[in-house]
Amino acid sequence: MKSRLDDIESRLKDLIENRLVGLAWRKEHSPLAVLIVEALREQLLAETDENLPLPNVLVFAMHPEEAATWQNNPEWMTWLNQTLLETVRESGASFAAPPVIQIVADPRQPPGNPRITSAYQDTLPGSTAVLHLSNESVTSQSTSDRRAYLILHGSQFFPLDQPVINIGRRNDNHLVIEDLRVSRAHAQIRRTKNQTILFDLNSSGGTFVNGQRITQTTLFPGDVISLAGFMLIYGEDSGESSPVGGTSPAQPPV
């Protein structure tokens, strides 16, 4: 698979760099093709079966201004998705599903230097997440100047606007996920002034961040969380506007 990834990287370099050469921040931008392939490679190395298809979800954590630029030009994500799909197919590899790009604003990410992570979108068909928003959660103020949120199913936003957020299958959780792989009390998120911390609550299926199993970890925008296979993405914004996040699935080639 490594040789295939090298081939994919080589094919992507010319296509992507030529396409994005007109962007204002392009001169200082890290090679996007290299970052994408490194993210795919890192996820594959975390798996036990090297013959698995490539992870199909790519999360771009970008400086907020760059994230907004991408969001205002959805044709870029559509083009990149299609390019990824065709390039991977031509190299003899395949994605686990049509690729999806998720853009997340990260104020700590320097301009021209996105952080890219990859993941498998393996949520079971029919699994759902129920957002229980109490009156307290709607009216409460965030403990940080930056608003934090989770992205579910690629487009659904769940605000982390309380100091403690419980996640699991049980109905009294703040975020209820009706998926049998998720424990009744699976994970907890605690918000402080300066950070967001994710805890695993001794779940049976485990809690993973960017492919690594955790018991406790600090979250950063663009982190991919897996609750025994149910995927969420962590994001933040400045609190002055709606969250910047977006998904652009590839269309099957004609």
pLDDT band at residue 254 under the 50/70/90 scheme: very low
pLDDT computed for residue 203 by the predictor: 96
Q: Which amino acid is at 104?
A: V
Q: Which long-range contacts (CB under 8 A, 24 or more apart) does 166-171 make?
A: 167/227, 168/201, 168/203, 171/132
Q: pLDDT over 70 for what percent of the chain?
A: 72
pLDDT computed for residue 75 by the predictor: 84
Q: Which residue has the tokens 């049509």?
A: 98
pLDDT computed for residue 134 by the predictor: 41
Q: What is the CA radius of gyration of the chain?
A: 18
Neighbours of 79 (CB within 10 A): 17
pLDDT tens digit string along 194-242?
899 999 999 999 999 988 899 999 999 999 999 998 999 999 876 555 5
Structure tokens of 222?
Answer: 């663009």
Structure tokens of 189?
Answer: 């998120």
Kindly tell me if the per-residue pLDDT of 43 is higher than 70: yes
On whether the CB atoms of residues 34 and 9 are closer than 8 A, the answer is yes
Angle between helices 64-71 and 74-90 (to 10 degrees): 80
